């Protein structure tokens, strides 16, 4: 018996066959047929399951359950409330996809699924209370409490990226101002860098094309001593420190793990981040929460979704 | 069999005899002998228990357990990490007071205890996930998850008052800038009102003595149309809305209940507050969390402490 874990994003679907102990056997990545609508994406996911089974000589009947991580809010009874990147609202995904694939289906938010993956076989292994923060286009967060995914009473919690932590020069995609992800994400870093670059002259010896610059390049420029890049990275770390300290002041977890592209910067991020968090803690003498880097990278969503399905299917 | 619930503050000790179903039979309020030190306060609490027993013709042996709500952080194994208003740090309260009173002792943070009281017999009755916010000198918060007090992995969570939500013109007592309680508490309201009053002339027809003004008076002035008072109250509500929306975006509870002196303003606070929270929500179509006013007022801490002791003593 194996499981299928699907990480369905607005751009890509990642689907994998996963063993009960969280090993990714095989996976398929395809561009999501987002524009063709909800039904087309469901059919695409079903075809991927069949292809995975065929490629790996697995009978579809031997797949115990399917877990799907959705980039949005989901209800405890299997409805996708809202997933803006997919254009889905109030979709009965568990019911609809269950009918199509004829397998037990379980859904949750994608960041929660990634946290579940890290809990089972990654940086949060053995942890009761932990948080995974993903620094990508936005700032995603998955919260584990008492060894289980926590998303609140109605499935719409753990949106740490939309915690307001100050006033910003641009609005969040959610319509509000001051969301953490507008200060601390790859998008936020690029926007702030360009914002300052437009105002000031860069140091003369480093020439960059700001129109195309990425967060990774800004991190590199900061390492090379570019003043604006340094300032941009410092600002991101300052606000990320506030966001993490807020989470510690409220949830006091054992560990907060950082994933996503920006976390690859390693010590460049983690050493000043630790200091920034410390400065914002209520009880500085008791900085008990460990800060670490996530382990599973792009596989976390697939593995976590499969593990979530496994756990819930056995209930 | 009865229980004793003690709410020990830096200024006052409130202690009550409470039945197993959360009824406050009798209580004593005394000024805390804070300046005489830790041992003196323990002796004072013990004498109050003896007095309560005597007054109510209860044998001390018939007291099942004692619960103490402490204004600070406590460890899961009964140590007070830090309670600045009492001047206590690293005090083995459960052990020390247990030896003195010869009864089972259980401790938790005072705001958590008040939330427990509201859960058992007040505004949070029947709730699984709920938050009590107390708007007093500071902003206290007690979090209930899955019907139990939640204070994190090390007992230092649920400090919503120290969530950073912006930049403020004065520093928090914790040493940081931008803590929610510096925007939304009785102290914050008075400080901001005086701050603006110092800069501007008040409307001519209302004369106030700002040196002695209280939060209650500012709320009243706002109702009477005083422009500076109105602006001060609006600012408090704006930031309280941000803080509450942050809690909803992260914890998505069934209900958030407001207690403390400022909550007595009722609709003057609650109607604009609901709008302020709405404006900051990530998913505005799903404003599921109810906002309400706490019921038990000053008794919440005593009742909650007793109920907490009852629950833990029966484990």
Number of domains into which chain B is organized: 2
Query: Do the beta carbons of residue A152 and residue B289 sit within 8 Å?
Result: no
Residues B131 and B262 in one domain: yes
Whether residue A156 and residue B283 make contact (CB cut-off 8 A), yes or no, is: yes
Residues B30 and B176 in one domain: no
The residue with greater pLDDT, B164 or A138, is B164
Distance from CA of A81 to the nearest CA of B (A): 9
Q: Which domain holds residue B91?
A: 2-120+298-313
Q: pTM surpassing 0.90?
A: yes
Question: For residues B4 and A125, what is the distance between their CA atoms, to the nearest angstrom?
Answer: 41
Question: For residues A86 and B212, what is the distance between their CA atoms, to the nearest angstrom?
Answer: 57
Q: Mean pLDDT in each 10-residue stretch from start to end of chain B (315 residues)?
A: 95 96 97 97 98 96 97 92 91 98 97 96 96 93 95 93 96 92 96 90 58 93 97 98 98 97 96 97 93 95 97 88
CATH number at residue A35: 3.30.420.40
Summarize pLDDT for A16-32 with one digit per residue, the tens. 999 999 999 999 999 99
Summarize pLDDT for A230-274 with one digit per residue, the tens. 999 999 999 999 999 999 999 999 999 999 999 999 999 999 999
Whether residue A251 and residue B152 make contact (CB cut-off 8 A), yes or no, is: yes
* CB neighbour list of residue A10: distance below 8 Å, 6 or more residues apart: A32, A34, A71, A83, A85, A86
Summarize pLDDT for A188-236 with one digit per residue, the tens. 999 999 999 988 754 555 555 677 899 999 999 999 999 999 999 999 9
Of B104, B142, B155, nearest to B300 by C-alpha is: B142
Residues A158 and A276 in one domain: yes
Whether residue B279 and residue A176 make contact (CB cut-off 8 A), yes or no, is: yes
Nearest to B283 among A82, A279, A285 (CB): A82
Query: Do the beta carbons of residue A149 and residue A120 sit within 8 Å?
Result: no
Residues A76 and A177 in one domain: no
Residues B255 and B154 in one domain: yes
Residues A199 and A112 in one domain: no
ipTM over 0.95 threshold: no
Whether residue A159 and residue B279 make contact (CB cut-off 8 A), yes or no, is: no
Residues A153 and A72 in one domain: no
Residues B109 and B151 in one domain: no
Of B312, B307, B304, B299, nearest to B104 by C-alpha is: B312
β-pair type (A73-74, A80-83): antiparallel
């Amino acid at each position: 018996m194996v499981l299928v874990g699907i990480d369905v994003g607005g751009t890509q679907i990642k689907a994998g066959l996963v063993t009960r102990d969280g090993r990714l056997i095989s996976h398929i990545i395809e561009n999501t047929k987002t524009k063709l609508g909800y039904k087309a994406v469901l059919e695409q996911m079903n075809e991927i399951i069949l292809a995975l089974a065929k490629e790996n000589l697995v009978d579809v009947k031997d797949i115990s359950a399917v877990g799907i991580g959705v980039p949005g809010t989901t209800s405890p009874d299997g409805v996708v409330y809202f997933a803006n990147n997919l254009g889905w609202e109030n979709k009965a995904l568990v019911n609809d996809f269950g009918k199509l694939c004829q397998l037990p289906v379980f859904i949750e938010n994608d960041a929660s699924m990634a946290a579940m993956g890290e809990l089972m076989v990654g940086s949060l292994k053995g942890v009761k209370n932990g948080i995974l923060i993903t620094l990508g286009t936005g700032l995603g967060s998955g919260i584990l409490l008492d060894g289980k995914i926590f998303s609140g009473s109605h499935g719409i919690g753990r949106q740490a990226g939309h915690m307001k932590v100050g006033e910003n020069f641009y609005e969040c995609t959610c319509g509000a101002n001051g969301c953490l992800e507008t200060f601390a994400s790859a998008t936020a870093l690029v926007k702030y860098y360009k914002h300052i670059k437009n105002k000031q002259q860069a140091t003369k010896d480093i020439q960059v094309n700001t129109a195309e610059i990425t967060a990774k390049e800004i991190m590199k420029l900061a390492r090379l001593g570019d003043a604006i890049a340094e300032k941009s990275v410092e600002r991101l770390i300052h606000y990320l420190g506030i966001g993490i300290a807020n989470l510690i002041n409220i949830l006091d977890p054992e560990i907060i793990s950082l994933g996503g592209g920006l976390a690859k910067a390693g010590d460049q991020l983690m050493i000043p981040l630790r200091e920034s968090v410390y400065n914002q803690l209520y009880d500085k003498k008791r900085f008990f929460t460990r800060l670490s880097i996530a382990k599973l990278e792009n596989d976390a969503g697939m593995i976590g979704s499969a593990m979530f399905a496994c756990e819930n299917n056995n209930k």
